[in-house]
Amino acid sequence: MTASSDAAAADVVTLTDVRKTYDVGGTVEALAGVSLSLPAGSYTAVMGPSGSGKSTLLNLIGALDTPTAGQVVVADEEVSVASERARAELRGTEIGFVFQTFNLLARLTAVENVGLPLVFAGVPRAERRERARELLAEVGLGDRTDHHPTELSGGQRQRVAIARALVADPALVLADEPTGNVDTETGSRVLDVFDRLHAAGNTVLLVTHERHVAERAERIVHVRDGELERIEDLDGGGR
């Protein structure tokens, strides 16, 4: 469960003056020149009201989208100029996504959902299953490997999703409101998992609008109107 980068000082993500505009009958500027870097092994939370640009930020760092201007470098790959294919490979191998709505495939069992990224990376079936079982055991679901998502609780589903995000041993774990669809108690246990990931050396970026969730991180990046408002360093972050 360690991040691929070995030099602690190296940045996993570097954003340089990133702009993103959408053309929806008029030009909407979602990001207006954002510069940010995520050092390897860091735990960062992004906070901001809805429409502040935090989803756009996440999509760019997650290589789901390309910027209108500026540079996005993730795991030494320049996303802004990468081909669709290269971005897909980057998502599959260097980035792990955790979504608010889990986004597990209902047809697949827990172990198959966790192994899904490895399917597209061309990893053999037996190896995928073994790796998926290991990760499910680590998130406390060793006895639920062959269950389908509908047979699992919200918290369990989110832990399956976290295991899926980690299966390719990515350089970066991206979480978008990971506690948004579970109750407080369960959410707290999900956040415990992120704490453990961080402790194990993973680079984590978490988007939330809840202060108490963001406070689990080492620092909070406040976003407003497409700009970085301020970066708040938290003492004792990453508890």
Partner 1 sequence: MKSIEAVRIAVRSIRSHRLRSALTILGLVIGIASVVVFATFGASVEAEIVGDIEGSSASNVYVFATPTDDEDGGFDRVVQPAFTERDVGALASIEGVATAIPRGAVDANSLTHDGDTVARQRVTATTPETFDEGRIVAGRGFRSGTEEAVLNERAARTFEGNVSVGDRLTLSLAGNRTHELRVVGIVNGTEGGLPVSDFAEGSRVYVPVDPFYRTVVESPSIGVRQRAYPQVTVVTDPTRTEATRTAVATYLREESDARRLVPAGTEPTARTSGDFAARISSVIDRITRFVTGVAVIGLVVGAIGIANIMLVSVTERTREIGVMKAVGARNRDVLVLFLVESGLLGVVGAILALPVGVAVGYAATRYAEVGFTLAPGWMAAAVGVGVAVGVLAGLYPAWRAARVDPIDALRYE
Which residues bind to partner 1, rule: CB under 8 A? 59, 62, 64-65, 84-85, 88-89, 91-93, 97, 99, 103-105, 107-108, 116-117, 119-122, 125, 164, 168
Shortest separation between residue 188's beta carbon and partner 1, angstroms: 25
Distance CA 181, CA 226 (A): 25
Closer residue to partner 1 in complex, CB, 11/65: 65
Shortest separation between residue 124's beta carbon and partner 1, angstroms: 8
Closer residue to partner 1 in complex, CB, 149/237: 149
Distance CA 210, CA 199 (A): 22
Q: Are 109 and 157 in contact (CB under 8 A)?
A: no
Closer residue to partner 1 in complex, CB, 172/220: 172
Shortest separation between residue 151's beta carbon and partner 1, angstroms: 16
Closer residue to partner 1 in complex, CB, 98/214: 98
SS3 206: strand
Closer residue to partner 1 in complex, CB, 23/143: 23
Give Cα 227 to chain centroid, integer Å.
Answer: 20
CB proximity list for 201: less than 8 A, separation 6 or greater? 1, 2, 3, 41
Shortest separation between residue 58's beta carbon and partner 1, angstroms: 10
CA torsion sign for 118, 120, 126, 132 is positive
Residue 64 phi/psi, 5-degree rounding, is -85, -15
Distance CA 131, CA 143 (A): 15
Closer residue to partner 1 in complex, CB, 105/199: 105
CA torsion sign for 236, 206, 220, 12 is positive
Shortest separation between residue 167's beta carbon and partner 1, angstroms: 9
Shortest separation between residue 237's beta carbon and partner 1, angstroms: 27
Distance CA 179, CA 101 (A): 9
Q: Are 216 and 45 in contact (CB under 8 A)?
A: yes
Length of the chain counted residue by residue:
239
SS3 42: coil
Closer residue to partner 1 in complex, CB, 28/121: 121
Shortest separation between residue 163's beta carbon and partner 1, angstroms: 12
